[in-house]
Amino acid sequence: MRRENPPKMPVYRPGERGLEQTLGTLEAQVMNAVWDAKEEASVEQVRQALEESGKKAAYTTVMTTMSRLHKKGLLARHMRGKAYFYTATVSRKELDSSVIKQVVDGLLKTFAEPAISYFVEALSETDPARLDSLAEIIEEKRSQERGV
């Protein structure tokens, strides 16, 4: 599943939860259904999985969504008979890492000082013990750069 170039996620919605922060609701549900399928999944298998989880969607809607995810590079597909079968090109963890990297890179390019200050302040309020861990990581990086 490893990709050399992780997919670019053009949208980030901080008010949403999970994958819906970068994908639409149905796209996130489809990705989860494909990951849960383990091997590969047809449009009908994904539609059934969505229905079993209480989310009704027409076959053509699921097909369009899966095609869109294929164009975004998140799903690979191959034709078998008259149907496409899809597999995820990235794992959940890889997609999460890609999103985190893109969000942090974007913040640092535009708002480096305020973003870092806010991160440290928020961390001190929610988990003060992690500040020591963060300080150790910073010192480790500085030592590496100095060649120590």
Using alpha carbons, select from 6, 2, 3 the residue that is nearest to residue 100.
6
The angle that helices 25-37 and 43-52 make with each other, rounded to 10 degrees, is 110
- Strands (E) located in 3-136: 41-42, 75-80, 83-88
Which amino acid, 119? F
* Domains of the chain, start order: 18-92 (1.10.10.10), 104-146 (no CATH)
Q: Is the pLDDT of residue 3 over 60?
A: no
Question: Exposed, middle or buried, 23 (CB in 10 Å: 0-12/13-18/19+)?
Answer: buried
pTM of the model: 0.74
Reported as type and span, the H/E element at residue 34 is: helix 25-37
pLDDT of residue 5: 66
pLDDT, tens digit, for every residue of 101-148? 888 888 899 999 998 899 899 888 998 888 888 889 999 999 998 886
At 5, list the tokens: 């170039």
Which amino acid, 60? T
